[in-house]
Structure 1
Amino acid sequence: MKRLAAHWQILAALLLATVTALALRGLFANAPETSTAAHFISGALETTKFIGELFMRALKMIIVPLIVTSVVAGIASLQGVSGFGRLGAKTVAFYVGSSLCAILIGLFLVNAIRPGLDHGKPNETVRKAFENSAANASEAERAKIAEAGSREAKDFLDVFRSMLPENVLSAAADNGKLLGVIVFSILFALAITRLPGDEIATIQNFFKSANDAMIVLTNWVMAVAPIGVYALIFPVVYETGAGLFLNLGKYFITVLCALAIHLFVVLPLVLRYAAGINPWNHIKAMRPALLLAFSTASSSGTLPVTMRCVQEGAGVSKRVSSFTLPLGATVNMDGTALYECVAVIFVSQVMGIHLGFGAQFFVVVAALLTSIGVAGIPSASLVAILLVLKNSGIPGADTAVVALLAVDRILDMSRTAVNVFSDSCAAVIVASTEGEALFTEENQVLPEA
């Protein structure tokens, strides 16, 4: 009997986790702390969180060796520095353009819907929700906000410092500093192209074989993806209260609508007219990666699956995908940039601060620049939001971000899926400009688990 495709397994796990979490929440949410039901739910949450952590650790375990082997094997096959420069220029141009487009979509919708206003005036209900959230914030939330608030604009220069790590092994041990690993891998690959022909072939064969082994290991990890996805989603759904979602409903819908427009309208149009690719066909090929990105809220954690989907489902070569995708998982954050813009304008509306054209232009530029420096890990964009809020002169930044943090997980999952899809579009479009024969609907083979 044919095995169920990977994306259907992950989708089933998502739905099952949501249904069981909502059912148990409805039955036991108000159970006394000393009751058997409360102990059962506590044990279930701890168990699923532990399993989810193991799954995320397995994904993160393979990221660095996968990046190193794929980047070195791919870039070393380019025709020296000129081939790399052409590929790099196309990739960076797409990433900057797509992020800017996403920000402008968010800016348009937040000004059109005005989620922070009630009949043209600052929404007092939401402002009180901000204050209540700040007053009832947990120690973990307070610590996260305090850490994020301690960052300054000059701290984002660390992005450029991290490109040249003093110790590449230390950078490899920190999944938040993947940019240094990528830069080292690129430089090492370019150095290989300067060696004698026989030595080039030896090193290329080694890294190609190592990359093939990493793909096998990725398939092993993905075999348990449905279990990992269930374990990640169950506690999120169970612990997410509905109160703030009701108060922040317009904001929540504004962000989701903007993300949906970028994911299902703008990027597909770019695929159609820039690469001649059937957008729906590409979305089908990317389903396993998109569902995993939504489940994990981590662009970096999804990278192994993104690379497999782009190569097997879209026909992009390792030469292109091994450069565009690791770089995209680190610096291309369309969904994050869009979210930052909407969040800042929303808070300014609630606080009664009018932002003119100049101020909103600053928000656009700041969102674009800070999104590049945001690590591909959950909730890292809170740092950027606080930074932009404070530099825009908007009061009550810390209070507002605590409330946004309460509904951030679902939005984080959604914008991560947009980030990953944008990375895949970049790979396809760059591959098409490089003259690669991409898969069509007739010869496409969708990746399986």
Structure 2
Amino acid sequence: MTRLPALHWQIAIALVLAVISGWLLGDVPAFLTFCDFAGKMFLNGLKMLVVPLVLSAMIGGIGNLSESSVIGRYGLRTLAFYLGTGTIAILTGLLMVNLLQPGIIEGKPAGPLLGLAADTGKVLDSVKDKGASDMLAVVVRLVPENVFAAAASGDMLGLVLFGFMFGYFVSRLPKELHQTQRAFWQGIYEVMIRIAKVVMAFAPLGVLGLVAPIIAKTGWSAFRPLAWFCVAVLCALAVHLFITLPLVLKLICRVSPLRHFHAMAPALLTAFSTSSSAASLPVTLESLENRAGVPRRITGFVLPIGANVNTDGTALYECAAAMFIAQAYGLPLDLPTQFTIVLAALLTSIGVAGIPSASLVAIALILTSIGLPLEGVGLILAVDRVLDMCRTGVNVFGDSCATIMVARLEGEDGILGMPSLKGRKPLEG
């Protein structure tokens, strides 16, 4: 019997086929109908798992921690990683746009030359009422008035806080009740992982259905007037993905970046295909636990938070897009303006939901903060979807690096095949 290649190779092959078929068959209605069906079914299957998987992973993970000091260490290290790498990502995007100046063509602002995308009006309708108060709304979303409504609407910020609190107080229960709760949530988690494996068996077909229509719709013509902007963003993302984060893995975590890339290949390809860190969460959890060897109590704590808070790629893109639009409009980019962009990108990226193109709302907030018209969003619409795929991959890889860092600093043994960083036994949960 012929053995199928590993899942990440199947997905990679599907991506190549999606590009070719989208280019050749993009005007065939039957093909696009099939792609729409396959893509939606796969994406729905992943999203179906997110709420029960996040809650069971987080409650089970934190519920296994018997000491408050351990939870505090996990939280501080996770937060420090997210803020540190997020700031570096934003500064990388800022530097690249300043070097390449994609918003300047032949010494003149590119806005009049580029024009606006045809569907700018739809985007403006969705973001025109956004303002500074929306940043406060991120804090309000942490405490949902109805946790079931939050689950139904996919408001993951509120669910993450609820899961954290529930798991914490599970760890404080008397022994008998504690064991019952642990067994219950452990059972749910195991069921979700098994369903996730069934869904991922259809990943190549789903990837084909998701990516081929994008190629068919945008083609390559959309990139020509925005080629330099795409180059700036992709170069900045590449620096963060292949230099900054691997340096963290090598210098702080003392693990092989190549091993980690190999372990995370299914999650990275899924993130690239779906443009959703939330939808990729089941695959990210499975990759870190079964391929990288990270204990569940750590993945259950770090990853659900990271999927909603740690968005390095998104923060980088928001900064680069705002700088590009400012250049295209001829706005003088003095240091105070650039500092405003950096700060706004860091704050708004935290509240961006893990869904495709949600960062357009954040970019609108940044434009408002520096006094630019919201119509500037139209300059990047043609290429936003494809760049969204790339930055989501960076987001997911950043989440995984944070998880590896927490595990290694906690003295866990066997992470990516490496001995304990501290030469001591792992903490007992």
TM-score normalized with structure 2 length: 0.95
Residue in structure 2 matched with residue 329 of structure 1 by the alignment: 307
Distance of aligned partners of 1:244 and 1:234 in 2 relative to their CA distance in 1, 3 Å threshold: closer
Cross-structure match for 1:427:
403
Corresponding position of 2:68: 81
C-alpha contact (below 8 Å) 2:241/2:394 kept by paired residues: yes
Residue equivalent to 2:378: 402
1:247 & 1:129 partners in 2: Cα distance? 6
Whole-Å Cα distance in 1 between the matches of residues 188 and 226 of structure 2?
48
| Pairing partner for 1:367 from 334, 345, 356 | 345
What residue number does 1:162 align with?
A: 141
Give the counterpart of 1:411 among 380, 387, 407. Answer: 387
Contact 1:45 1:235 in 2 (8 A): yes
**1:35 equivalent in structure 2:** none
For 2:47 and 2:127, the matched residues in 1 are separated by 23
Q: 2:248 aligns with which of 270, 284, 289?
A: 270
- How big is the shift at 1:149? 2.2
Q: What is the match of residue 57 of structure 2?
A: 70
For residues 317 and 198 of structure 2, the distance between their equivalents in structure 1, rounded to whole angstroms, comes to 34
Q: Is the 8 A contact 2:196 2:282 kept in 1?
A: yes
1:93 aligns with 2:80: yes
Task: State the identity as a percent.
Answer: 44
How far, CA to CA, are the matches of 1:72 and 1:47 in structure 2?
39
1:24 partnered with 2:3: no
Quote the residue 1:349 is aligned against.
327
Matched ranges for 1:121-140 at <5 A: 121-123=108-110, 126-131=111-116, 133=117, 136-137=118-119
Q: Distance in 1 between matches of 2:415 and 2:315?
A: 31
**Other-structure match for 1:446:** none
What is the RMSD computed on CA atoms of the aligned residues? 1.5
Distance 1:440 1:50, change over 3 A: closer
Aligned to 1:253: 231
Moved more, 213-222 or 189-198: 189-198
Q: Distance in 2 between matches of 1:45 and 1:3?
A: 27
Q: Hey, what does 2:282 align to over in structure 1?
A: 304
**Residue of 172, 179, 186 corresponding to 1:194:** 172
> What residue in structure 2 maps to residue 34 of structure 1?
none
Seen in structure 2, the aligned counterparts of structure 1 residues 442 and 181 have a Cα distance that, compared at 3 Å, is: closer
Deviation per CA, 1:139-167: give whole Å up to 9, x if none: xx522331122211111212111111111
| Contact persistence 1:98–1:334 (CA under 8 A) | yes
1:386 aligns with 2:371: no
SS at match of 1:194: coil
Count of paired positions = 418
In the superposition, the TM-score normalised over structure 1's length comes to 0.90
Runs of 4+ in 1 over 4 A off after TM superposition: none
Residue 441 (structure 1) shift: 5.1
**Residue 46 of structure 1 pairs with residue 24 of structure 2:** no
* Residues in 1 aligned to 2:327 and 2:10: alpha-carbon distance in whole angstroms: 42
Q: CA deviation at 1:442?
A: 8.1
Residue number in structure 2 paired with 1:439: 415
The amino acid that maps onto 1:3 is: L
Segment of structure 1 superposing worse, 288-297 or 78-87: 78-87
- Return the offset for 1:359: 0.8
Decide which of 47, 64, 76 is 1:60's aligned counterpart. Answer: 47
Measured in 1, the distance between the counterparts of 2:279 and 2:160 equals 15
Q: Tell me, which stretches of 5 or more residues in structure 1 are unaligned? A: 29-40, 444-449
CA distance, structure 1, for counterparts of residue 112 and residue 270 of structure 2: 34
Over 3 Å counting, the alpha-carbon distance change for 1:169 and 1:354 in structure 2 is: same
Once the 2 structures are TM-superposed, how far is the Cα of residue 274 of structure 1 from its aligned partner? Answer: 0.5
Shift of 1:118: 2.5
Q: What do the CA deviations read for 1:123-181 (whole angstroms, capped 9, x no partner)?
A: 3xx533224x2xx33xxx52233112221111121211111111100001112x11111
Matches within 5 A, 1:207-218: 207-218=185-196
1:36 aligns with none
Rounded Cα–Cα distance in structure 2 between residues aligned with 1:421 and 1:78: 25
Match of 1:37 in 2: none
Displacement of 1:407 in angstroms is: 0.8
8 Å CA contact retained: 2:66, 2:172: no
Point out the more displaced range, 233-242 or 90-99: 233-242
- Deviation of 1:46 after TM superposition, in Å, equals 2.3
Once the two structures are TM-superposed, the CA of residue 438 in structure 1 deviates from its matched residue by 3.3
Following the alignment from structure 1 to structure 2, what is the Cα–Cα distance between the partners of residues 159 and 202?
Answer: 34
Looking at structure 2, the residues matched to 255 and 401 of structure 1 have their Cα atoms a distance apart, in angstroms, of 16
Task: Indicate conservation of the 8 Å contact 1:149/1:387, yes or no.
Answer: no
Deviations 1:325-345 (A, max 9, x none): 111111111000000111111
